[in-house]
Structure 1
Amino acid sequence: MPHAAAAVINHDSVVATHGETDRTFRLASISKIITGWTCLIAVEEGSVSLDDAVGPPGSTLRHCLAHASGYGFDTATPIMGVGKRRIYSNTGIEIAAKHVAERTGLMFADYMNEAIFEPLGMSDTSLKASPAYAIFSTVHDMTLFMKELMNPTLISHATAQDAVAVQYPELGGVIPGLGSYKPNPWGLGIEIRDHKQPHWTGSMNSPQTFGHFGGSGTMMWIDPTINTGLIALTDRNFDEWSAEALVAWPSLSDAVIHSLSNHA
């Protein structure tokens, strides 16, 4: 592994770290969680609504954030009807961000910076290209965002709960690099573990665990039932070590939870 860094949060405190926590990594698809949170800030400000028509006919901002708009992974046109299947889509996330940019009159990167990075003190984090996969950050900065996910300050508790609630719960679909699930629970830009097997989180993680992993070899989860979060960033592409990652990440997750339970 060229470079790797990690941190564990428990009850709003960083309780363990590994590696260079100030090294910058590409978050890859963990970016989608930050993008979703940014969109929800715009919702609370009144700039947009989750019911706004966004994407193909019949699709809304909510559909796009929940991978239910019908767009393919990277397709400019839909490949299925709205709300028919959980199709993991960079396009849907990008269209959602574009809608926020149009309604706020700001470049999405600028809006994200003002809405999230500045108030949370994430001084080493920036969006450099697609909001679906091109945020660059450090483990230190991401612990600040994880604290926001655990105890929201930028959006209301009700909106935060909506973000991590299953949207369109009947939908099945594929998680790239992992497998097909029926159903395939997802929130607003956030994957929800539920009872998926196999999974990249641990066997000790609760069904309420939410988070994301990324193609640059990154992963982050929050388990609200134990007020614990784990972030691990690397710069080795997931495709190069997917088999190892899908053993290492669950093992690390279980080790973290086991260690914390022994010290409770």
Structure 2
Amino acid sequence: METTTFAATDGFPHTALVGVTGPEETLAVQGDPRAVLPLASVTKPLTAWGVLVAIDHALIDLDDPAGPAGATVLDLLDHTSGLPMEGSEPQKAPGERRIYSNVGFDVLAAHVADAVGMDFADWMRREVTLPLGMAQTDVTGRPSAGARSSIEDLLTFGREVLRPTLIPAALRDLALAVSHPGLHGIVPGYGAYADNQWGLGFELKGAKTPHWLSDTLSPETAGHFGALGSLLFIDRSHDIAAAFLSGVPFGEEHKRIWPPLTEEIVARYGRG
């Protein structure tokens, strides 16, 4: 593992923890890889993995009714249930619009908890964080945005996405493929897109610009960012995953450094 400094973070006025991993091992870190900071919405890919494990165990199904009338587990995973960011009143019919929803992921976690017969945080610990050895990750907060973790643990999760051990590769492939293509929607903090591509718990870069990922990255690059200055991305075309934590509210400084940082990461450590 290389200890390094990323040029793109020069002048960033806050903590800038960065890590990069290949499928087998961590490639590089900047800062303390074990420092625990809030993930905000980077919690969602972790929650989605717990949902996918329940699907693989045949405890729930993507087509199960869940959330508002007419919506399914799939709709909650890919933000097409019609639920708003916060609140219980649907804004659109299921499948009509991509509406980014925190409450949708909390409803989804409650659906899984009912199906597996335990609190969702206990399910996550038993089926995701403990098997992967993510000892620094706390999943007791909101399933949509309340987890805390470290760069070290996020890179462990990134390796799991690159080479899944808890779910079949085919289910991982489905999670990282465009679900409900061609839907209009908003990426919070960046704006509206005619084709706002998402998978199941993961945003897909697609053709979105401006974006938190560099325009040079593959449209299939998957990941998430959070409102407390966190990000995780999976670039399967280069067989790497990377994470960033700052612990401060997302703002213009994050917008400034993230595209060049993600480009620098792929240029320095991307494979293939």
> Smaller-chain TM-score range?
over 0.9
Q: Give the letter aligned to residue 252 of structure 1.
A: L
In 1, Cα distance between the equivalents of 2:268 and 2:52?
A: 34
Deviations 1:80-111 (A, max 9, x none): 11111000000111111100000111000000
- Secondary structure of 2:224's counterpart equals strand
The verdict on how the C-alpha distance between 1:185 and 1:102 changes in structure 2, with shifts beyond 3 A counting, is same
Question: Paired residue for 2:269?
Answer: 260
Q: Give the letter aligned to residue 71 of structure 1.
A: L
Deviations 1:7-38 (A, max 9, x none): 01134321110111111111110100000110
**Post-superposition shift, 1:56?**
1.2
Question: Paired residue for 2:5?
Answer: none
Question: Paired residue for 2:9?
Answer: none
Question: Paired residue for 1:197?
Answer: 209
- Hey, which bits of structure 1, 4+ residues long, moved more than 4 A? none
What does residue range 113-128 of structure 1 map to in structure 2 within 5 Å? 113-128=125-140
Q: Give the letter aligned to residue 28 of structure 1.
A: A
**Post-superposition shift, 1:258?**
1.8
| 5+ residue gaps, structure 1 | none
Deviations 1:155-212 (A, max 9, x none): 0011101101111002110011011011100011110001111110112211110000
The verdict on how the C-alpha distance between 1:229 and 1:105 changes in structure 2, with shifts beyond 3 A counting, is same
What does residue range 25-174 of structure 1 map to in structure 2 within 5 Å? 25-174=37-186
Deviations 1:113-163 (A, max 9, x none): 001011000011111321000011111111110100100000001110110
Q: Give the letter aligned to residue 135 of structure 2.
A: S
Which range moved further: 63-72 or 75-84?
Answer: 75-84
Which range moved further: 168-177 or 10-19?
Answer: 10-19
- Secondary structure of 1:127's counterpart equals coil
Question: Paired residue for 2:35?
Answer: 23
Q: Give the conservation status (yes or no) of the 8 Å contact 2:221–2:235.
A: yes
Q: Give the conservation status (yes or no) of the 8 Å contact 2:19–2:151.
A: yes
- Secondary structure of 1:119's counterpart equals helix
The correspondence for 1:175, drawn from 187, 211, 223, is 187
**What percent identity do the matched residue pairs reach?**
35
Q: Does 1:237 align with 2:249?
A: yes
Q: Give the conservation status (yes or no) of the 8 Å contact 1:204–1:257.
A: no
Q: Give the letter aligned to residue 109 of structure 2.
A: A
In 2, Cα distance between the equivalents of 1:260 and 1:145?
A: 18
- Secondary structure of 1:188's counterpart equals coil
Count residues in correspondence. Answer: 260
| 5+ residue gaps, structure 2 | 1-12
The correspondence for 1:3, drawn from 12, 15, 25, is 15
- Secondary structure of 2:127's counterpart equals helix
- Secondary structure of 2:197's counterpart equals coil
Q: Give the conservation status (yes or no) of the 8 Å contact 2:76–2:105.
A: yes
After superposition, the CA RMSD in angstroms is 1.3
TM-score, normalised to structure 1, is 0.95
**Post-superposition shift, 1:2?**
4.3
Q: Give the conservation status (yes or no) of the 8 Å contact 1:211–1:220.
A: yes
Q: Give the letter aligned to residue 157 of structure 2.
A: F
In 2, Cα distance between the equivalents of 1:160 and 1:224?
A: 12
**Post-superposition shift, 1:3?**
2.8
Question: Paired residue for 1:206?
Answer: 218
Q: Give the conservation status (yes or no) of the 8 Å contact 2:40–2:228.
A: yes
- Secondary structure of 1:30's counterpart equals helix
Q: Does 1:184 align with 2:196?
A: yes
Question: Paired residue for 2:7?
Answer: none
